[in-house]
Chains A and B, each alone.
Chain A
Amino acid sequence: MVALELSAVAKTFTMHLQGGLRLAVLHGVTFAAEPGQCLALTGPSGAGKSSILKLIYGNYRCDAGAILIRSDGAVVDIASAAPRQILGVRQRALGYVTQFLRAVPRVSALDIVAEPLVMKAVPREAAAVCAATMLRRFNVPERLWSLPPATFSGGEQQRINLARGLLPEHPILLLDEPTASLDADNRAVVVDIVRERKRQGAAIVAIVHDDDVREAIADVCVDVTQFTAAA
């Protein structure tokens, strides 16, 4: 039984500000991930790897095909789901981790990390304890936890975002270059957590440029260039 299945997914951008230029980015995207399996998307920059993750998460609207996500026994097609259903799936089942933190003014690092759990109705105190454990794992100094991360260094913000994204134990996890520009210690933390999630049965789709990290986490590589629309 697969956790995530894409079939014949296509995406074209129409750029109205450039005279209606049409950019066919992807077509025929078809793959599936089982619980406990990590798929790595490979291909050169611009091949559409990140676009695939955005299509799965629902940031990009899908022009054709189906994106099926199984959660709590129900299957939702992200390509045709209503906004509320997509939000529900994200909250329950779907995690998306990039290297960039979208900082919210005045919200502390600890609260930012704890928020996805609070949204899943975990009591605030319990969520804060889990968030603290995660921040400690990513070596974020405790004196920073109560501060809003807007002024933190790029590396600190990235680690806070990873802590936030990897904290909820979602059955499906999308990783967009989580280890880019991390030092070796923190790269190892990401690898450990991803392996933990796989053991817990998460299906993972990852974009990882670092060969060692990809080797360490990926079970299958999917070459995205086969889906790249011929220009």
Chain B
Amino acid sequence: MNFIENEQPLLVAEGLTKWYGRRLGCRDASFELYEGEVIAVVGESGSGKTTLLQLLSGQIEPSAGQIRYRLRDGAIADVWSMSEPMRRFLFRTDWGYVHQDPQLGLRMGVSAGGNVGERLMAVGWRNYGDIRGAATDWLARVEIPEDRIDDTPRAYSGGMRQRLQIARNLVTAPRLIFMDEPTGGLDVSVQARLLDLLRRIVSEMRIAVIVVTHDLAVARLLSNRIMVMKEGEVIEQGLTDQVLDDPHAPYTQLLVSSILPA
């Protein structure tokens, strides 16, 4: 990751708040995200991590606050003032969303190649040979053998499905990826492979990432910055190694001291 000092942020969140009726999902989250930067959102289940991710990715409308995104042409757009088709277009092209459960992010009845190619068709690719070529290339980058391109994800292992989901998201060269517990539910060797892949691809492509995880080791490995959430609020944020080596909030100290040494 390279730092351009006077760069404009890619995404700015201000006072993001979500109420589900009288129950608080997330309150007053504010931060800036720059190109190529990886932010980890950590906290226990129910702390509002996924709500924040869904707010940021335009999937649920905030009760208060706003999200501004810098489009490829440099214009700054308010995510919730833009038209629904525009927001969907952004979601299909410039953004990616990696679900913890790959079944939510993939079309299980469509071949692996089709899953990856579909995102390209959404941005106007029409030539079958080009689409297949790009799909094959991306499957190789996530270490899926070429001879599995015509299989559906149903025939894939959990780790392969997750790698396929990542390829599907990255094929349009998005500038921002949201990830919800991308390594959750995978066994450790599979998880290590996925983390290494993510780390490499994200730094090579200079993609900004907001990754929700409850695993502090994943946060340490992938992220530049951390936001710690508790009961719907961001209680501490900063440089990843600062928050993990010198946690200030009582809850963050508890989180950090609760890690079992391997």
Contacts and interface: CB of A to CB of B under 8 A. Distances in A.
Interface of A: 13-17, 54, 58-61, 83-88, 91, 104-107, 119, 121
A14 B248 contact: yes
B253 A106 contact: no
A106 B191 CA distance: 11
Given A15-B253, A91-B3, A58 B239 contact: yes
Contacts of B195: 105
A61 B3 contact: no
Nearest to A105: B192
A19 to B, nearest CB: 11
A59 B238 CA distance: 10
A61 B3 CA distance: 21
Contact of B254 (A17, A104, A107): A17
Interface in B232-262: 238-239, 241-242, 245-246, 248-250, 253-254, 257
B238 A61 contact: yes
B242 A17 contact: no
Nearest to A62: B246
B5 A88 contact: yes
Given A16-B253, A84-B37, A59 B245 contact: yes
A33 B192 CA distance: 41
Contacts, number: 60
Contacts of A16: 249-250, 253-254
A127 B242 CA distance: 28
A107 B245 contact: no
Given A60-B245, A60-B246, A104-B196, A87 B253 contact: no
A17 B196 contact: no
A149 B86 CA distance: 47
Given A60-B245, A106-B196, A107-B196, A87 B250 contact: no
A60 B241 CA distance: 8
Contacts of A86: 239
A111 to B, nearest CB: 9
A60 B242 CA distance: 6
Given A17-B250, A105-B192, A105-B196, A83 B245 contact: no
A65 B1 CA distance: 29
A60 B224 CA distance: 15
A162 B218 CA distance: 24
B192 A88 contact: no
Contacts of A119: 1-2
